[in-house]
Amino acid sequence: AEMPGHGGILAPGPVQKKMGVLAYSPSPEVEMVRRDIELLKAHPGARYHVLHVSSGETIKLIAKAKSDGLNITCEVCPHHLLFTANDIKEGDSSFKMNPPLRSIEDQKILQEALESGTIDFVSTDHAPHEPMMKTSDFNKAAFGTTGLETALRSLLFLNQSGKLSPQRLVAAFSQAPARFLGLGNTMGNLKTGEKLRGVLVSDKSINRKIEIKDLASLSKNNCFLGFALPGKITHVFNHMGMFDFTS
């Protein structure tokens, strides 16, 4: 959700000022969602989904719309749950994404909204780029970070930190997205007699820093590089059978 024409790059704050780039306030996101909710009120049979919520103010609008009975859903990205504008590393444009990393207050509201169910599920906004597009110049670098390889472990980090229950982790990463995509009958749930589709994760593994070798993507613009995350997938079960990753 974004009103066009603002030209912002990083959320307002010390890092943005130090780097001398244009501020990207919450207003473009908040005002677009506010506008769309008014449209939804006029067409209550419609369905509205907000991608990649980053602002606490947006969450307040969505929570009110849900309480009013409107058919509205939303999602959040792992990087907005674990990082803030204060964590941006100067010269590392993996931290340049749209919407941008925001304040600690915004991050706290996003974490609480995911746990409460106001935020329906998590999506990665996986945005691979070749190195020439992710230079150290934040003014010229493309927006985006990869996130597929680090998404589940990011949520396990929140669970480890006491900010996300196991039940909500499974719902936000599996059940709710499956329902949203109309796949709830075959994905996202365990049923007796049905083929098992899922991953088995060890909760005994130590937190390990994300390294380049952990990224299956050909693109390496990942803001989680160097950040220690828990979780090791030991088995994958799908329509092809079981795959063991313990060796």
Peptide bond into 166 cis (omega under 30): no
Token pair in block for residue 168: 């909500």
Q: Which of 215, 226, 21, 24 is nearest to 128 (CA)?
A: 215
Q: Which of 111, 97, 139, 69 is nearest to 11 (CA)?
A: 97
- Residue tagged active-site, from 125, 137, 203, 214: 125
Please indicate whether residue 125 is annotated as part of the active site: yes
Give 88's DSSP letter.
Answer: P
Q: Which of 200, 202, 208 is nearest to 224 (CA)?
A: 208
Q: Are 225 and 211 in contact (CB under 8 A)?
A: yes
Beta bridge partners of residue 126, listed in sequence order:
145
Token pair in block for residue 186: 């075959």
CA-based Rg of the chain, rounded to a whole angstrom?
A: 19
Beta bridge partners of residue 243, listed in sequence order:
236
Q: Which of 85, 82, 87 is nearest to 114 (CA)?
A: 82
Residues labelled as active-site residues: 125
